[in-house]
């Protein structure tokens, strides 16, 4: 088997719960209708003072919160800071700050534009903020691959450890996309659900429900984690990244890019399709994406195949943070020995292959190698393979 990387810390900021325990409980509850926003967010615990918090876009605030939880959970990292890196992905970065300042310039003129606009809106702001707060001097990067960004960040961070460049990586994704223009853009391209319901793989699915949040993992060389007696939450066995090279928003027919991505991830992990027992699907609740993924899963694993769920039925679609939130869900499914149901799924689309979708209530399972899939606009595909410690 390929070299495994240990997960020793986990932090989550999500609409259904802030903190790993609250997030897990949220995944087991029927969600409210409509947009999924983080309620009653207080950034202050993660900043020196209110002024520094105001100078960080919401997506950076979420990332700092999730990173703080993950690092606290990981415990003391007695490691050379030049060998600790940060990779936090995003789809659209500080779009709220960007839109706000465009309106200010239009209404009040150039001189009223904030001097903090650029450092607040840039997609690498979250990764940079985590690096600076904790003095982490290894690679500090922001993967921007739409809805695959969080998954790609975890995969890239795993490779940084496996290559020998780093001993520890802080990795995940963060997103705060709620602006009038962003919502209008997604709505006008008919990507958003008109009913306000996320219904992954359901015959009545009509688009995704917008979401926000962040999830961050602390990844370590397995021998380092064992040597310091860290609690190991799970292992990242491998990952893959491919491109459809087909269309800017639609997936390749039959999920060909997704098929290649899952197969390459299995090869990277040095396991076979028959070893996989669970898949946290991308499962956005859009007609084309759910169909492409279901056909891809059936092609790689057969039917009924592994246990499949989409936690977007609860969380909605947090774009560049989605893959990190779903990797967190897999780790928590391993901890609790339960796979959450696909909320919103009532009548599986009969045109889709007969994959083993969890619906209605959570399902007990014997944890084993699992996939977390993410597929983004631009044809970006990402898969990580996660297993029990």
pLDDT tens per residue across span 206-254: 999 999 999 999 999 999 999 999 999 999 999 999 999 999 999 999 9
Is residue 388 in some structural domain? Answer: no
Q: How many C-beta neighbours within 10 Å does residue 254 have?
A: 13
CB 43 within 8 A of CB 207: no
Residue 2 has pLDDT above 80, yes or no: no
Note whether residue 387 is domain-resident. no
Q: Is 383 within the bounds of a domain?
A: no
Residue 279 main-chain phi, psi, to 5 deg: -130, 125
User: Does pLDDT of 3 surpass 90?
Assistant: no
Nearest to 371 by CA among 331, 337, 312, 342: 331
- CA pair distance 139, 67, nearest whole angstrom: 16
Euclidean distance between CA atoms 352 and 324, whole angstroms: 26
> What are the catalytic residues?
147, 282, 317
pLDDT surpasses 70 at 110? yes
Asked if 56 contacts 128 with a C-beta cutoff of 8 angstroms, the reply is: no
Residue 37 to residue 15: CA distance in whole angstroms = 5
382 lies in a domain? no
How many Cα atoms within 13 Å fall on the side-chain side of residue 76? 4
Cα distance from N-terminal residue to C-terminal residue, the chain: 14
The count of domains in the chain is 1
**Backbone φ, ψ for residue 249 (5° rounding):** -125, -30
What CATH number did the domain enclosing 239 receive? Answer: 3.40.47.10
Strands 84-89 and 168-175: parallel
Q: Quick check: is 141 in a domain?
A: yes
Position 302 scores a pLDDT of 98
212 lies in some domain: yes
Does any domain span residue 102?
yes
Domain hosting 193: range is 5-375
pTM: 0.97
Question: Is residue 309 a contact partner of residue 207, using CB atoms and an 8 Å limit?
Answer: no
How large is the average pLDDT for residues 268-278?
98
Task: Identify whether 114 is part of a domain.
Answer: yes
Contact 32/313 with Cβ under 8 angstroms? no
Q: 45, exposed or middle or buried, with CB in 10 Å at 0-12, 13-18, 19+?
A: exposed
State what percent of residues in the chain have pLDDT above 70: 100
């Amino acid at each position: 088997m390929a070299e495994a990387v240990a997960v020793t810390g986990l932090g989550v900021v999500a609409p259904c719960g802030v903190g790993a325990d609250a997030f897990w409980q949220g995944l087991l509850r029927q969600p409210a209708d409509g947009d999924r926003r983080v309620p009653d967010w207080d950034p202050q615990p993660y900043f020196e003072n209110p002024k520094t918090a105001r100078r960080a876009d919401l997506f950076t605030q979420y990332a700092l919160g999730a990173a703080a939880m993950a690092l606290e959970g990981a415990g003391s990292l007695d490691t050379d800071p030049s060998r600790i890196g940060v990779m936090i992905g995003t789809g659209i970065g500080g779009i709220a700050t960007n839109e706000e300042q465009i309106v200010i310039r239009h209404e009040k003129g150039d001189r009223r534009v904030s001097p903090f606009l650029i450092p607040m809106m840039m997609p690498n702001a979250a990764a940079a903020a985590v690096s600076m707060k904790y003095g982490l001097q290894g690679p500090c990067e922001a993967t921007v691959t739409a809805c695959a960004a969080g998954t790609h960040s975890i995969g890239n961070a795993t490779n940084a450890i496996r290559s020998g460049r780093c001993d520890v990586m802080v990795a995940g994704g963060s997103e705060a996309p709620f602006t009038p223009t962003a919502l209008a853009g997604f709505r006008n391209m008919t990507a958003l659900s008109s009913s306000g319901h996320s219904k992954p793989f359901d015959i009545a699915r009509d688009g995704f429900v917008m979401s926000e949040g962040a999830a961050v993992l602390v990844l370590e060389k397995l021998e380092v984690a064992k040597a310091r007696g860290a609690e190991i939450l799970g292992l990242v066995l491998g990952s893959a990244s491919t491109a459809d090279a087909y269309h800017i928003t639609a997936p390749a027919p039959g999920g060909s890019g997704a098929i290649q991505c899952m197969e390459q991830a299995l090869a990277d992990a040095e396991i076979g399709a028959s070893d996989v027992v669970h898949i946290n699907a991308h499962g956005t609740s859009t007609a084309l994406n759910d169909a492409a993924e279901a056909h891809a899963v059936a092609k790689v694993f057969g039917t009924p195949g592994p246990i499949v769920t989409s936690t977007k039925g609860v969380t909605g679609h947090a774009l560049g943070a989605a893959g990190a939130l779903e990797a967190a869900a897999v780790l928590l499914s391993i901890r609790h020995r339960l796979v959450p149901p696909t909320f919103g799924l009532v009548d599986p689309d009969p045109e889709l292959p007969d994959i083993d979708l969890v619906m209605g209530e959570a399902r007990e399972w014997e944890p084993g190698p699992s996939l977390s899939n993410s597929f983004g606009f631009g044809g970006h595909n990402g898969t990580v393979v996660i297993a029990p410690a």
